Structure 1
């Protein structure tokens, strides 16, 4: 790739990650929560705050720290320990920041290979490592959904907050998203471990169909990335994959436990309800997957009461839980990203360039 074109692409990616980009999602999210408070507030609704269970708040903080440590361990392990612990911390913080400032449908993986490449990892390996994380994340969803559906059944859907037609629409969206994620995960498994060239040809032929041709060049590029990833990853042994799968299971389980911990800090929740809250994260995720705002700002806040309001009580307490949840899982990473990003840029762009 010509140096000027590469520099232009790097600048475009950095422009997407400017710390100033935190302003819009913060304004959107806080405006939605503020409106929800204004519409629902009644004197005395926040009384449960005075009886907050400190141990559940400490568990929530422990889960958040454990989740981030799990992410740091996972990226260091998947990158075959090329990254130091410090580099792994920087990568995860900026990756999380990218997920917060980009639309949820795009996510941080859009810039993750660029981040790894600037840490001194070759472009081919960077793409391979990002593809592994995406594949493992999808496989967690594929494996967990049937288990949760078996345990929770129809209670996964918020019948108490939605009319029958909307519940049916949510069910269809949930099933469609699960089928698509499963098909994509199986395709990537086949591509990486069996025959990457055939998957590349399939993608090119698929996007040669009239109406899809505008994405043919991107499909060809993605096909090449699959071939590179397969070449980089096929030689790894069972130990590599067991640790990668185990760390993925750990971080996503921790991620889905946060809401339950926050609710349990202010409301008495049975273990059955706690597990149901965990399960509803999977249907809640469907809304976030199609969100077009940065990090799902506004949409995540607005949809939260529909899925979890019945476990909390009053609308005002629900809105408080929404605010706390987004503070520790979203706004916190916007602030951390704004701190880590300038230091990371100064460090990696002063180092010798990689290819």
Structure 2
């Protein structure tokens, strides 16, 4: 079997879909049981239906923004239909892999099988990772400055918990920044020097076992760098603007859900967006697929102050809208896509 086909089918196996579902559902049930809040589920009838519909609309707009970005990055090589396949499968891959890993390796294969050369596929995936991370790197200090520390949830009875959240944020932010600046140097400044450094480091002692992987990764960086050279100002501007757009939409979706259950002022809307940014930077180092279980457990700590008894309901709705649909949609899109790019025998082989 084609090695790419093996990788795709292995990573999208039913077991890998079932694990995050069980983790997420388990954490959700525990949230309701531990505080005896099963009766709070009735609170769903008190929701403002227009804000709930707005949340769904924002989700659709966000995905349209992702489609526009990948189509723009590929210089419209991908049609809108193919862009939809790519984004749905990319989100599917992200949903069943740990947040710290993401779906980038699978995304490279997906783009390559859509007819984009491997070097360009690597370039587009690496570039989107840099764009997304740069959004976090630039936005986080801004919200910390504008909110003057209010962005972190406050717990009068447990200041140690607040400090642990702050520590998790600063560690996650530092790791993202270090990784991103290394990638920028490797992709846009001196890719061959980066490849030489990888080979040099893996020539020492026990690190030699990774020398072949380092050589391969170094080549990938050089290929990707070559593909990104020579693009126009408009190309870079579209990439940056679309990235800001999709992440802003991703964050504002939660504002819609919270506003469906609580009266939220303009200032509180800004604080929710800011706190959501900090929340997801912390969640980026989650070790479970799609942050399943961890997101559900940490959510009330960040947003219960806006929601009160509705916090458990909103976290369920939030995951139902932003996470579980991609597991379902991915399962629908995957067989059709595999049949398209590998042939009708693709799903029968093992």
Same fold (TM > 0.5): yes
Question: What's the counterpart of residue 342 of structure 2?
Answer: 349
Distance 1:174 1:20, change over 3 A: closer
Post-superposition CA distance 1:214-240 (Å, at most 9, x none):
444333322211111111111111110
Question: What's the counterpart of residue 8 of structure 1?
Answer: 3
Give runs of aligned pairs for residues 125-136 of structure 1, distance below 5 A: 125-136=120-131
Distance 1:158 1:80, change over 3 A: same
1:40 corresponds, among 9, 32, 35, to 35
Distance 1:207 1:178, change over 3 A: farther
Question: What's the counterpart of residue 78 of structure 2?
Answer: 83
Check whether the contact 2:199–2:211 (CA below 8 A) recurs between aligned residues.
yes
Check whether the contact 2:140–2:278 (CA below 8 A) recurs between aligned residues.
no
Question: What's the counterpart of residue 106 of structure 1?
Answer: 101
1:304 equivalent to 2:306? Answer no
Check whether the contact 1:200–1:226 (CA below 8 A) recurs between aligned residues.
yes
Give how far 1:31 is off. 1.6
Paired residue total: 345
Post-superposition CA distance 1:282-325 (Å, at most 9, x none):
222244222222111111111111111111102xx211111100
Question: What's the counterpart of residue 191 of structure 2?
Answer: 196
Check whether the contact 1:19–1:338 (CA below 8 A) recurs between aligned residues.
no
Question: What's the counterpart of residue 155 of structure 1?
Answer: 150
Check whether the contact 1:161–1:306 (CA below 8 A) recurs between aligned residues.
no
Question: What's the counterpart of residue 233 of structure 2?
Answer: 238
Give runs of aligned pairs for residues 136-285 of structure 1, distance below 5 A: 136-160=131-155, 163-210=158-205, 212-285=207-280
Q: Which runs of 4+ in 1 moved over 3 A?
A: 41-51, 206-217
Distance 1:207 1:153, change over 3 A: farther
Give how far 1:211 is off. 5.7
1:332 corresponds, among 325, 328, 335, to 325
1:291 equivalent to 2:292? Answer no
Distance in 1, Cα, partners of 2:248 & 2:204: 40
Distance in 2, Cα, partners of 1:69 & 1:161: 42
Distance 1:161 1:101, change over 3 A: farther
Give how far 1:15 is off. 1.3
- In structure 1, list runs of 5 or more residues that go unmatched: none
Check whether the contact 2:40–2:313 (CA below 8 A) recurs between aligned residues.
no
Secondary structure of the structure 1 residue equivalent to 2:321: helix
1:69 equivalent to 2:64? Answer yes
Question: What's the counterpart of residue 56 of structure 1?
Answer: 51
| TM-score (ref. length: structure 2) | 0.92
1:318 corresponds, among 311, 319, 328, to 311
| TM-score (ref. length: structure 1) | 0.90
